[in-house]
Structure formats: C-alpha cells, structure tokens
Chains A and B, each alone.
Chain A
C-alpha cells in the first residue's frame, strides 16, 4: 500500500539514507554474479581447442617443440583443473588477463588503451538518447492517442527493429562518397582542427546512429511508464483542482514516471555494449567493440575472454548502481 500526499509523494524529498544492510546485500549479490561470470569464463575456454603457449611463440607454426612444452609447464597447463582455476583467479585479482595471441601484448593493457574511446562514444550517445528519448516518451505517453504519440511510437518501433550497425552502414554508403563525414576512425593526424574538435567531428556519425536507436528504446520505455502514471488515482485530485494539463504532467506524473525509467536506463546497458560492437566495427572507431571484432580473427581467445569479463563487469557495476539509486530516488519504495 503506497502512501500518497496530494503532491504525489514527491514533496517528501529529504535526502534518504540507505540502510547498510541493503547496500551490503546488493553489493554481495553483484559480486556473486561476477563470480559466476568468472567461473563461466574459465570453464568455457577449457573446452576450446587452441594452445595458450602460442602467445609466447612468435611464429606459432615453427616453435621448437621443447620450448613449447616448457612454456606449457610454466603456464601450468598440465596441472589439475582446480589448481589452474586458482591460478586464474589469482591472476585476475592482480588484473592479469593473459597475453593476446594476435597482438602479443598483455590483454589488460590492450583493454585499458581502448576503454576510453568506447566510453566516450557510448556514453555520449546514451546521455543524449536518454535525455531526448525520455522527453519524447513522456510527451507521447501523456498525450496518449494523439498524433504525436502515434507517429513517435510507430517510428520508435521501426527504429527499435533495426540493428544499429545497419543504420551506420547505410549512412556510410550514402554519405561517405559526398565527403560529408570522415571515412573512419577517431582522429586524423593530419587534421588542422584542434584534437578535441577533430574527435568530435569523427564522433558525429557513430553517435547519431547509436543515439537514434537508443532514443527509440528509451522513448518506448518512458511512454509505457508514463501510461502507468497517467491513469493513476492520485492525479484525479490534481486534475479536479483544475490544474493545467502539462503542469499536472510536469509536477506530478513525470517525476514518478521518470524513476523507473532512470533505473531501467541502467538496466538496459547490456544493449549498449552490444550496440557498441557493431557500430564501432562499421565506423572503425578504435574502442573495445572494434577490438572484439578484431579478436574474432584467430580467434584470439585470451583477448575475447578478457573483453567478455570487462563487458560483464561493467554491466554488473551499472546494475549495482541502479539498485542503490532506486530507493534513493523513489520514495514509494523502501529499501528492505
């Protein structure tokens, strides 16, 4: 049973503290998920045919067999699996993710170098999309059945049905010949623009493509939670008092509709990761997504393992943030 005030419960906005037990519980759950991912990662790749010793022999086909045997002993490949597992976990604790077969460098270093471009690209697209998408969804949901609602929902469903990289591909085909957008990459060493502007220039097309699809998704989410609010009982009071329609929405319905959307924003980050892989590939953006595509050549198993771990850890972290934020933002929910 929710307690409501005439103002929809938004007025009680004293900063709330989270009970420690709740924080601990959620953190432990998140950690548990991470452990599960680590275990899956380990066992999955034991099944794979392929030789980790290859990372250390430059010309895989011509390595001296004695040396390969030595390397395998050093890597502990002959050991029973539980000992291998402990070695793997210990390495993880010190951020040692192995050595890439294709690039002959520590995986953690490669991932570290490429993390920033992905965060920049996906983060920018996400924030833009969340802002625009939620505004659009709120308006459409509030004006349920109106022309705006129908057009934007229809458009959103179409965009939502399109893979992001496909949009990027079509955009490139149409525009690249005209020279309107840069051919690829993040920076042009020859450019006369200051570096920040050069990067921004290279970001326009991929961010647009990502944002457009995310806008569709977030506007649909926001719309449906706004629909939930629209017909809620407490708003009848506000309307009965003769308040203007959009004030009703802005002051009362929107904040409550916003809350589940914000947390859903964090929870759908898994899609962000998937979108990044396709879009970075098509636009040659030097981030983790493109690194994944390159790692498929081979396949470069240690690199793929490390990337899988990184992506999963990122999403788990965001989910934890969402779990911790939700009770803070929504007074109707008690952190129990």
Chain B
C-alpha cells in the first residue's frame, strides 16, 4: 500500500530523472558542469597537487617574479612562490567561502521568501518590507560596512562568509516570494488548510517542494555572486590575510606592484580562475532555467 509520502517521492524521482534528461541535452549546461567538476577536484585534491609549504614565505625558494616556465607553469610572485601553487590552494578558500556563503544566503532567502509569501498580515508584511529594503541597499558598501564592524577576534574567514551571506539573500527572497504567492492560489493548498494543516505543514510539505526547482536554479547564480563577492572583498583587503584565496593573490599582486613590474602572470591566472568558475556556475544556472522553463526550452 503506497503512502502519500512514498507516492510523492516516487513522483519526485521521476521529475528528477526527466530534469536530468533535459539537462544532459543542454550543451552549455554540460560544459559548465564539467568545468565545475574539474575545479572541485582540484580544490579537494590540493594537497596531492601542490605542496602546502609552497605557500609559506619563509620556505619559498623560487626566483622572484619569474615568467611562466616548465618549472613554474604559472610563474612566481615577488616572494618567489609558485603562482600555480597559490591558485590551486586558493581554490579551496574561494570555493569554500562561495559555497558556505551561498548556503547562508539561500537558507535566509528561502525562509524569508516563503514566509513573506505565505503569511498574511503583520509577519508577512515585515518580511516583505525587509526584502525590499535589502534589495535596494547597494551590496558592496553594505558588505564593506559589515566587514569593518566585525570584532577582530572573529576569524576573518568566518566574518567574510557571514557578510556575503547576509548581503545577498534578498534577490532569492524576492523570487521565492513571487513563486510562493502563485502557489498559494493553488487548490491543493486550500485543501490542505481545510484538512487542518498548520503553517509549518503547508510550508514544508507543499510550498517548499514546489519552490525547490526555482531554488536550485537560483543557487548556482548565487554561488557565482558569492565567489565574485569574496574575490572583490579580498582584493579590497577585507578578506582573511592569513589564508590564500584567488582574491588574496590579486590583492598581493596589486600591492606588490604587478603593474610596474609587468608580471602579467601574477594577475592573469588567478583572474582567469575566477572568471572560469563564475562563468561555469552562470552557465549551469542558465541551463537549469532553460530546462525548467518550458517556454525557454521551446526556443532553444
């Protein structure tokens, strides 16, 4: 005897399968996915690919500002460290911060979005207002202000993750709110209410699963924003000074007079890494949108 739960799960599995079928056919999406898998592998396998000692100032043995060569494929920086090592290890922090901040952003955004769409009256109104306010406030000045407010004892990397998470949830919230509002109209939700389903039941059993596809598409786009944000914040000097990230490499390069010395490799390779990863996330996001939105699919 199939329970309602298992029926729902079976339906979802079928939907997931169909989704994957659609995604597989999308060239852009596949390409993006492959790039992401490569970067994820590099980040996870960092200790195997490059010696951690290569990041240490005291142990650096390479020539200063050497252009790319066989020994140093990405060249060296002004302290003699291999830029390749820095980019490999930097991927860990850049990706970690991006993903962690995205989790925070998505959680807040989804909760606020569903809440403001579902609850009528004061609660929903407040959440909706909050979303509008955060949408309007320009993100970088807010991030800068928040980053400076954090007490120095908090490890900077945590501070950066929280700052990015807290400043980027509003776009997600607005989208989810709109979706929630349209779901609210649907008949089965009325039925659930009539049967005595409480708020939490409605939100978790009915609204959330229907909002999930949108959340998924939005997540990839949020990750790309988060990684860009981390890179910019590190470049401005607000990142963690003790951990290598791609933004930190660029900050070192800028302060280390990369422009005068013409050491293009020092800025180009970490920059390319950022652009490639962000673009890959964007490509996946657009592909997911296409798969989910039948209208766009027709046009593809």
Contacts and interface: CB of A to CB of B under 8 A. Distances in A.
Interface of A: 29, 32-33, 36-37, 41, 44-45, 47-49, 144-145, 157-158, 160-163, 165-166, 169-170, 172-174, 176-177, 227, 231, 269-271, 273-274, 277-278, 281-282, 292-293, 296, 299, 301, 304-305, 307-308, 311-312, 315-316, 319
Majority secondary structure of chain B interface residues (helix, strand, loop or mixed): helix
Majority secondary structure of chain A interface residues (helix, strand, loop or mixed): helix
Interface in B178-217: none
Interface stretch (B18-26, B64-72, B104-112, B141-149): B141-149
A157 B141 contact: no
Interface stretch (B6-14, B54-62, B82-90, B263-271): B263-271
A270 B149 contact: no
A270 B299 contact: no
B235 interface: yes
B178 to A, nearest CB: 15
Contact of A293 (B236, B262, B283): B236
B102 interface: no
Q: Which of B133, B282, B283, B296 has the largest count of A CB atoms less than 10 A from its CB?
A: B133
Given A296-B237, A319-B136, A48 B148 contact: yes
Contact of B136 (A144, A166, A312): A312
B294 interface: no
A160 B275 CA distance: 9
Contacts of A281: 236
Contacts of B138: 269-271, 273-274, 311-312, 315
Nearest to B277: A161
A36 B136 CA distance: 11
Please classify how large the interface on chain B is, using the bins under 10, 10 to 19, 20 to 34, 35 or more. 35 or more
A157 B279 contact: yes
Interface in B214-265: 224, 228, 231-232, 235-238, 250, 253-254, 258-259, 262-264
Q: Which of A270, A278, A305, A307 has the largest count of B CB atoms less than 10 A from its CB?
A: A270
6 contacts: A33-B136, A144-B299, A172-B259, A274-B232, A277-B236, A292-B141
Nearest to B151: A49
Given A45-B149, A296-B238, A311 B141 contact: yes
Interface string B271-287: 10011001100110010
Nearest to B299: A144
Contact of B286 (A44, A157, A305): A157
A278 B142 contact: no
B30 to A, nearest CB: 15
B140 A158 contact: no
Given A270-B139, A311-B141, A304 B148 contact: yes
Given A33-B132, A36-B133, A292 B271 contact: no
